[in-house]
Amino acid sequence: MKIREKLNYKKLKKASVLSVVLTLIIGSIFSTVAIAKENHYYEFETEISKYNDNYEVTTEPLGLEIGETISLRDHVISLGGDEKDEFIWLSSDSDMVVVDAVGNVTAKQNGTAKIYCIVGDAKVVFTIIIKDYNKNNLITNFPRLNDNPKLRAASGKLKVFVDPGHGGTDSGAIGPTGYNEKEMTLDVGLRLRSKLEAKGIIVEMSRTTDVELGPTEREDLMARANMGNKFGGDIFVSIHNNSSITSNVKGTETYIHDSFGPGIDEARDLATKVQNSLVNNLGSVDRGVKTFNYCVLRETYMPAILAELDFINNPTIEVKMKTPEYREICAQALYDSIINYFNLTPGNPVPTEGITLSDKDLYLIEGYNKKITANVQPANASDKNVTWTSSDINIATVDSNGNVKAISEGEAVITATTESGGFKAYSNVKVIKGINGHRLFGSDRYATSYEVSKQGWKDGQGANVVLASGEDYPDALCAVPLAKQCSAPILLTRKNSFEQGLKDELTRLDTKKVFIIGGETVISKDVEQSIKSMGIDIERLGGVTRYETSVLVGNKIDNNGAVTVANGLNYPDALSIASIAATNNMPIILTEKSSLNSNVKSFIENKKFTKSYVVGGTTVISDELVKQLPNATRINGNNRYETNKNVISTFSNSIDFSKVYVAVGNNYPDALSVAPLAAKEGNIIILGDTSNTTNYTIIDAIGNNYEKINDTYILGSSTIISDDYLNNNGIVVK
């Protein structure tokens, strides 16, 4: 094995001749094996732990479909790996994704796993996100620029989505002195936004502060792409820094994903212009335009590029990156290339035609600030200057940049007036004292379920417990009404391991009986036996399918003549109504989109329900199916958050709003765990859209019931649901 230059800022363990020989032997064995996490978890952990002292190089997450194969060896070499070196390849979960001895990776089932390449003193980490990609909805069908971009520019509707990579707990790559990729990319992104907006281009950013956009790496990436798609940008620009195996690699490279359609020509054109502009302005090494399966590029529906500005782990480059002058050059280079791509040229003055504001209605807590953005039409208007006024400065003030400060409780109107043409737009500001917020969470989803149990059930109070999977949602969705009827908390468990935290909580509650929701493929026989060994009775409610399981659970409910029906292939709709269904003794029955499972059909007929509530639109439950249900009322919205809002509105007369629970809407465990607690006192769960701190999903769901609320309980830490998002929705965390 070639002895490579040690990184001058990373102390690596010195290896003896014997350890080098052992590494070669082990490498030759494990380079042909991808260790499965499910069946050989401890073997994998043991093997990867041998390389704890290796310098870790992280790469941007990749997206694959089931059955798709990609080679990673050349990418590792491009990061400084030597072809003569020994390459050791490991998979964290070979049930999910396998890797062979030469770095060919094949996706096996939907989910997330990591591939590790051990080469020299380095450990290169690839996150692999496997999901189904609907090619027909991607780049081929997204609205394209006009054939003549100048005509599009004249319309004043150009839109650019800027994605500063990483953020929050995800620092990205780290330089020799600790300078983080997330800091550099955010500063460049904000500078780029200012330049584009000054040109009259509409800009939205995935983040404008140091936050991550999801509780997991997968959710964070999906949020970035989904924000760009919802925004409907003409282009998507993701800004990153590179990291390499050795400290001497440098250069700029720009990536596209080219699997789909003729629209790739535009993405390649944008990438070429970005690459050339960066290289020319930075004086960097030209590593070229490349194609790779980066997940954030594959998820976007428009021409999208990922710019790796340079290698932050190169000491010389890091010194430059830490200077505002260098970051300004990066932003200018990106701006120049985007302007070049859109073919924008100076022209005659463009008159102002109108103005709109980012917030027509604004809730603010006393003492808090919020910036309102004025959008002058057209976007390329020559004079975009605006004056701001407040109707009552004793309630709310506003400065010359649209920053509103809440002074005291009451209502005021903020007015923005264009200096050219005198066009006006208004924002109604309501200043409130703020709802008390309390965080309720544990170190992970399992610990969170135990903390919720402690919140709602005293020592020795839990004669019954409902046990659900923390790894898969379908069987668990229908469990909440059963938990309410049995005065039981829902505790989450792993499939194959009976962990000490679960044992402790069962003991604390003095549990007499556990209802296991789902078959042995969901919660194993070993877990069941471990609980039995504590002297606890077990009743397992698990059908062959999730639909049969929902019927088995439904038969346990002393219903009041009403039933809830939700799609079994996703979780948000069922979670929206879970606590309400439980409060009203309504079973939650799962179904496919267009047909009723025979067991479900028989259940509904035999129970002689007089009322049914269908949660979700026609894309999840068809009108034809609804016609088969008794006296059906459909509750739905444009997305899961609006559906949640409409569910709450439908049952508002029977809800106790004095206490409200808030959980993220892009994952199921926390909302599932807290639903029985909410149901105990007739409270609700609000699903929070945390993809952007300016979302008003909580306020929207509360509606006119704001004054009734005394306390809110937030499921998750500030990294999951930020204080900024809560404050924006009138909640002050104590």
Bridging pattern class, strands 490-493 and 464-469:
parallel
Please tell me the chain's helix, strand, coil percentages from 3-state DSSP, rounded to the nearest 5. 35, 25, 40
Q: Phi and psi dihedrals of 728, rounded to 5?
A: -65, -20
Rg (CA), the chain: 28
The answer to whether 241 and 312 are in contact (CB under 8 A) is: yes
Q: What string of H, E and C letters represents the secondary structure of 75-96? A: HHHHCCCCCCCCEEEEECCCCC
335 by DSSP, 3-state: which? Answer: helix
What are the start-end ranges of the H helices in 31-158?
Answer: 37-49, 73-78, 149-154
Output the six-digit token pair for 266: 């535009």
* Rounded Cα gap, residues 298 and 301, in angstroms: 8
And the tokens for 398?
């506003």
DSSP state for residue 467 in the 8-state scheme = E
- What kind and span of H or E run contains 412? strand 410-418
Residue 56, beta-bridge partner list: 123
> Is 206 exposed, middle or buried (CB count within 10 Å of its CB: 0-12, 13-18, 19+)?
buried
Query: Do residues 557 and 459 make contact, with C-beta atoms less than 8 angstroms apart?
Result: no
Q: How far apart are CA 187 and CA 181, in angstroms?
A: 10
CB of 156 within 8 A of CB of 200?
yes
Q: In sequence order, which residues have a C-beta less than 8 Å from that of residue 649 and are 6 or more positions away?
A: 703
Max Cα distance, the chain (Å): 84
Q: Are 63 and 295 in contact (CB under 8 A)?
A: yes
Residue 407 CA to residue 395 CA, distance in Å, equals 5
The dihedral region occupied by 723, where left means phi > 0, alpha psi between -120 and 50, and beta the remainder, is alpha
- Report the SS3 class of residue 164: strand
List the strands of the sheet with 435-440, edge to edge: 684-688, 659-664, 711-715, 435-440, 731-733
Minimal CA–CA distance to 130: which of 69, 57, 211?
Answer: 69
Token pair for 245: 């195996």
Catalytic residue among 47, 219, 253, 308: 308
Residue 308 among the catalytic residues: yes
Enumerate the active-site residues.
308
